[in-house]
């Protein structure tokens, strides 16, 4: 089985690291090897945060080379664009449509691109792009902070990784706090349902 490479990009406070940990745990629950590499920007101040997750029978290197991503998870649209060096013509980009505009852009520019412009660029460099209104789905389970689990559910629902849904659920159970597990699992299931209804 070839190694699958997932780049997870967002800003501090969006749960990039939690997403990556839950995905890696899901792989381990499926008797696969997994490696997580994290690059933090100003995570506590809304700065860029990126994580590499590699899944396979045996992982030798924790980082994904340029052009080597099978999937780019953009928890924030502009951060997905920043991850384009990892894309190739077969890469799937999963994009949360909620924009978090940096303070610098609000005060002095450069102007934050419109969502349609971001989607257009992603479509030029990736094999396929799926945009998800993760906040709207997260609200349905009563937890606006569960956007990352909606996105994880979408990844699981597309069936592009060799990990069954049950292993994803167990991976989430091993990762999120017990007090928020039910809401996170509900958000995950909404993401699964959304993805299964799409044609990607």
pLDDT tens digits for 11-57? 988 999 999 999 999 999 999 999 999 876 554 556 889 999 999 99
pLDDT of residue 101: 78
pLDDT in tens, 72-82: 999 999 999 99
Count of domains observed in the chain: 1
Residue span of the structural domain in which 38 resides: 4-196
| Mean pLDDT for the stretch of residues 179-189 | 95
Contact 70, 23 (CB under 8 A): no
Task: State the distance between the two ends of the chain, measured CA to CA, in whole angstroms.
Answer: 23
Question: Can you give the CATH number for the domain in which 90 is found?
Answer: 3.40.920.10
Name the residue with tokens 């691109």: 113
| Integer Cα distance of 112 and 47 in angstroms | 15
State percent of the chain over pLDDT 90. 80
Sign of the C-alpha dihedral computed for residues 160, 147, 109 and 38 taken in this order: negative
CB of 75 closer than 8 Å to CB of 19? yes
pLDDT tens-place string over residues 107-132: 566 788 999 999 999 999 999 999 99
pLDDT of 134-171, one tens digit each? 999 999 988 888 999 999 999 999 999 999 999 999 99
**pLDDT score for 107:** 58
Over residues 58-107, the pLDDT tens digits come to 998 899 999 999 999 999 999 999 999 999 999 999 999 999 876 655 55
Rounded Cα distance between 166 and 132, Å, is 22
């Amino acid at each position: 089985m070839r190694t699958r490479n997932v780049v997870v990009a967002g800003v501090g406070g969006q749960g990039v690291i939690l997403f990556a940990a839950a995905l890696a745990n899901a792989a381990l629950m499926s008797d696969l090897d997994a490696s997580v590499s994290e690059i933090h920007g100003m995570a506590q101040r809304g700065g860029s945060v990126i994580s590499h997750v590699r899944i396979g029978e045996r992982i030798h290197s924790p980082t994904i080379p340029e052009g080597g991503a099978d999937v780019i998870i953009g928890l924030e649209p502009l951060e997905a664009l920043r991850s384009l060096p990892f894309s190739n013509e077969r890469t799937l980009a999963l994009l949360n449509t909620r924009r978090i505009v940096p303070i610098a852009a609000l005060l002095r520019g450069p102007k934050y691109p419109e969502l349609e412009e971001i989607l257009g660029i992603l479509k030029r460099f990736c094999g396929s792009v799926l945009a998800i209104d993760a906040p709207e789905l997260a609200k349905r389970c009563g937890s606006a902070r569960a956007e990352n689990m909606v996105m994880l559910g979408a990844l699981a629902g597309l069936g592009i990784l060799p990990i069954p849904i049950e292993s994803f659920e167990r991976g989430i159970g091993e990762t999120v706090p017990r007090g928020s597990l039910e809401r996170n699992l509900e958000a995950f299931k909404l993401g699964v349902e959304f993805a299964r209804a799409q044609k990607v």
